[in-house]
Amino acid sequence: MRQRRVAASPVSPEPQEMARNAAEPLSTRDPWAQRNSASTEAFGAAVVNFVIVTPMVLWGVVLLAGTATYAGPGAAQNAHLPLAWYDALFVRFGPLFFMLPLALRAFSDVADETSLPTPARAFVVYAIVGLVRLAVYLLGLALGSRAMSDHLFLGATVVASAQGEAVACAATALRLTATARAAGGGVSRARLSLAMLAATAGMLVATALLVLQCGDAYATAAYFHPPRETVVAWATGFALCQCVALVGAVVPAARSLGAAIVALA
């Protein structure tokens, strides 16, 4: 008696499709999630460009404005100089200004070990910038040259380090916020809170230093140094100090901030 063979019924593709969809991330299946992810990445990229370019442009615009309104030292006697107190501190302690926001970030780095650049690396970068400025200053003294304003040249180093630490501290604060959202990631809530407070304080201190330095530089360019000395100090400071800080600290910090924005979203 011949047996009748029954062909196996084809497996419905629906379970296979459901299993494949379950294995895929939501962002690859949801067009709205894809759009939000793309928007967040675009926003992060815009922030990266903004924090890299804006402080340097602001510094140049301030010096240009001071040069355009140059009135000479005689006019300074009757001028209102609201940042004279800052200038007095700057003259004495300007090379060390970067230490305060950097120390605050180093404290917060205990709970954020992915900080870029690391506080140790940033210290090396800022120390190199300071040594370059000191070498140029001593060379100018040896040659008896008054080709540029050392006051503004030192100001360029303060702006460079303040920019780097403001961006790096902001990135650290955002990463710590993301860690806190993820139930702490094994770090105690008190430790996270202190680290976030330190990172935020470092960002505010560095930003305040940058703004104050720009204000002081305007008065310096407007009253105390001829336009030629101001322009030479700006160009030399950018080439020898700000570019070093840009490559060694600002750009890594800005990229870290962009990544932190995407991760937090």
pLDDT tens-digit map of 10-25:
545 555 544 455 455 5
Q: Give the residue carrying structure tokens 């007095």.
A: 88
Per-residue confidence (pLDDT) for residue 31, from 0 to 100 = 53
What number of residues does the chain have?
Answer: 265
Question: Can you tell me the distance from the alpha carbon of 221 to that of 74, in angstroms, rounded to the nearest whole number?
Answer: 13
Name the band, by pLDDT with cuts 50, 70 and 90, for residue 178.
confident
Residues 6+ away with beta carbon under 8 Å from 242: 56, 59, 156, 159, 160
SS3 call for 23? helix
Per-residue confidence (pLDDT) for residue 27, from 0 to 100 = 45
Residue 263 exposed, middle or buried by CB count within 10 Å (0-12, 13-18, 19+): middle
Per-residue confidence (pLDDT) for residue 155, from 0 to 100 = 96
With 70 as the cut, is the pLDDT of residue 113 above it? no
Question: Can you tell me the distance from the alpha carbon of 149 to that of 261, in angstroms, rounded to the nearest whole number?
Answer: 39
Per mean pLDDT, which range of 29-43, 58-72, 222-236 is the poorest?
29-43
Per-residue confidence (pLDDT) for residue 255, from 0 to 100 = 94
pLDDT digits (tens, 9 = 90+) for 59-95: 999 999 999 999 999 898 889 999 999 999 999 999 9
Question: Can you tell me the distance from the alpha carbon of 156 to that of 237, in angstroms, rounded to the nearest whole number?
Answer: 5
Backbone angles phi, psi at 14, to 5 degrees: -65, -50
On average, the pLDDT of the chain sits at 86
Percent of the chain with pLDDT over 70: 83
Name the band, by pLDDT with cuts 50, 70 and 90, for residue 39.
confident
